[in-house]
Amino acid sequence: MVTAQRKRLRKISEKPDLFDQLPDDLVLYILFKLSSSASCPSDFINILITCKRLKQLALDPLVLSKVGVKTFAVKAERWSDSAHQFLKQCVNAGNREALYTLGMIRFYCLQNRGSGASLMAKAAIKSHASALYSLAVIQFNGSGGSKNDKNLRAGVALCARAAVLGHIDALRELGHCLQDGYGVPQDIVQGRRFLVQANAKELALSLRSMLTWKPQQQHVDEQQNLHYACSVMGTAITGCPLLSDFGCNVPAREVHPVNEFLKEWFESRPGMLDHGLRLCSHSGCGRPETRPREFRRCSVCGTVNYCSRGCQALDWKLRHKVECVPMEQWQGVLEDGGDNGIGGMVEIEEGEDVALVE
């Protein structure tokens, strides 16, 4: 009797794991589906450290090609050879987000301009909107080169392609370029139209994120979220003063992880920026100057610098309009209205030039 029980127990314990019975193709398919929705790097790391088989399958190029942007949201202080290596593996698998992320890190942080720009260009060819926009910013500023390397027309063309793909900052940048006749023949009406479109898209995005926002009580349903969204629209209780054109306040939208990375990288390594080089003053950007006085500055107070008109417009609404103290000699410019279409935004001037960019 006892022997029979023992035999049965041994049989159960020797029964192979159900996971082992799953064919590789099926596990690969599940990982392929899951990898794009990982919410942080540790989600993916947990798969790698679970067991040998999962690690091997998770590093299959098919899975790596689909790994989502949040998997690359590594903290700047945790940057290591293995993080670099992992990004390279994803790049080799043709992952667009990895191409863009590693491109930005190499271009700005590791100062490997050629390789960084080339990776971003590969992401841009795969219709990565942020890569197109970042290349536009590089062209507008002549980043990595001299002032003579600025190519405003190329910047506008790249912005237009990113805007078509729905990139809000690119749409906003394009609106300013058209309004100012910057790199493109001036068309104030079309420019304003693009700015309104950018604001409307931003509003839609914010409302959508509020509707999917999950407060601590899990039972709060969508209707209550809608009520919350409406109360924010109506009374402007919290959040940043974005979209002031529409008379409402909404929370600032999520920043791309690589912008967070850049910001942390340079803020935690003060010596990284050569003397006189500055970071873009918009908190959601993180782009540094690649040569002295590359970025344009607020011509009213002269204390903030921006990589782009888009960053200036956003920072104006988020923060700078309450901080900007005009220098006396510029008060006339303010009274003239400046860029009155977007809540009193001020013109910026070329780093080296005194003249206003019109």
Q: Which residues bind Zn ion (CB under 5 A)?
A: 280, 282, 285, 287, 298, 300-301, 307, 311, 324
DSSP conformational letter for 339: B
Provide the minimum distance between the beta carbon of 303 and Zn ion in the complex, in angstroms, as a whole number: 6
Cβ neighbour number for residue 254 with a 10 Å cutoff: 10
**Residue 333 CB, nearest distance to Zn ion (Å)?**
11
Q: What is the DSSP letter of 269?
A: -
Q: Up-side HSE of residue 187: CA atoms within 13 Å toward CB?
A: 11
Q: How far is the CB of 321 from Zn ion (least distance, A)?
A: 8
Instruction: Name which of 74 and 324 has its Cβ closer to Zn ion.
Output: 324
**How many Cβ atoms sit within 10 Å of the Cβ of residue 117?**
19
Phi/psi for 270 (5° steps) reads -55, -30
| Identity of the residue, 178 or 307, whose beta carbon is nearer to Zn ion in the bound complex | 307
Neighbouring C-beta atoms of residue 166, cutoff 10 Å? 11
Cα 59 to Cα 41: distance, rounded to the nearest angstrom? 14
**Least distance from Zn ion to the Cβ atom of residue 341, Å:** 18
CB of 145 to Zn ion, least distance (A): 18
Show the CA angle centred on residue 257, arms to residues 256 and 261, nearest 5°: 125
> 198 or 298: whose CB is closer to Zn ion?
298
Distance from C-alpha of 94 to C-alpha of 154, rounded to nearest angstrom: 25
User: Which residue's CB is nearer to Zn ion, number 72 or number 330?
Assistant: 330
Nearer to Zn ion, 263 or 287 (CB): 287
Q: How far is the CB of 123 from Zn ion (least distance, A)?
A: 19
Pairing outcome for strands 348-349 and 305-306: unpaired
* Residue 117 CB contacts under 8 Å (≥ 6 apart), including other chains: 103, 107, 135, 138, 144
Measured between alpha carbons, how far is 37 from 43 in angstroms, rounded to an integer? 9
Taking the complex as a whole, how short is the minimal distance between the CB of residue 298 and Zn ion, in angstroms? 3
- Closer residue to Zn ion (CB): 183 or 288: 288
CB closer to Zn ion out of 255 and 301: 301
Distances (CA, A) of 188 to 174, 194, 199: 11, 10, 17
CB contact at 8 A, 135 and 159: no
